[in-house]
A and B are shown apart, each in its own frame.
Chain A
Amino acid sequence: KAGVTQTPRYLIKTRGQQVTLSCSPISGHRSVSWYQQTPGQGLQFLFEYFSETQRNKGNFPGRFSGRQFSNSRSEMNVSTLELGDSALYLCASSLAASGAQETQYFGPGTRLLVL
Chain B
Amino acid sequence: AQSVTQLGSHVSVSEGALVLLRCNYSSSVPPYLFWYVQYPNQGLQLLLKYTTGATLVKGINGFEAEFKKSETSFHLTKPSAHMSDAAEYFCAVRYNFNKFYFGSGTKLNVKP
A101-B51, A103-B34, A109-B43 known; A43 vs B99 contact (CB < 8 Å): no
User: For the complex, what is the distance from the CA of A99 to the CA of B31, rounded to whole Å?
Assistant: 12
Q: Are B100 and A106 in contact (CB under 8 A)?
A: no
Give the bracket for the number of chain A residues in contact with chain B: 20 to 34
Q: Which of B45, B94, B101 contacts A106 (CB 8 A)?
A: B45
Q: Are B44 and A90 in contact (CB under 8 A)?
A: yes
A75 interface residue (CB < 8 Å to B): no
Residues of A near B45 (CB, < 8 A) are 106
Of B45, B49, B99, the most chain A CB neighbours within 10 A belong to B99
Residues of B near A56 (CB, < 8 A) are 97-99
User: For the complex, what is the distance from the CA of A95 to the CA of B94, rounded to whole Å?
Assistant: 15
How many of chain B's residues have a CB under 8 angstroms from any CB in A?
26
Chain A stretch 42-99: residues in CB contact (< 8 A) with chain B: 42-43, 45, 48, 55-56, 58, 90, 92, 99
Q: Are B105 and A4 in contact (CB under 8 A)?
A: no
A106-B44, A107-B43, A108-B42 known; A100 vs B96 contact (CB < 8 Å): yes
User: For the complex, what is the distance from the CA of A92 to the CA of B96, rounded to whole Å?
Assistant: 17
A-B pairs with beta carbons under 8 Å apart, 28 shown: A35-B102, A42-B102, A42-B103, A42-B105, A43-B90, A43-B102, A43-B105, A45-B101, A45-B102, A48-B99, A90-B43, A92-B44, A99-B97, A100-B32, A100-B94, A100-B95, A101-B49, A101-B51, A103-B34, A103-B49, A104-B100, A105-B46, A106-B36, A106-B43, A106-B44, A106-B45, A108-B43, A109-B43
List 8 additional contacts besides A45-B101, A101-B94; criterion CB under 8 Å. A42-B102, A42-B104, A45-B102, A58-B99, A99-B96, A104-B34, A104-B100, A105-B46
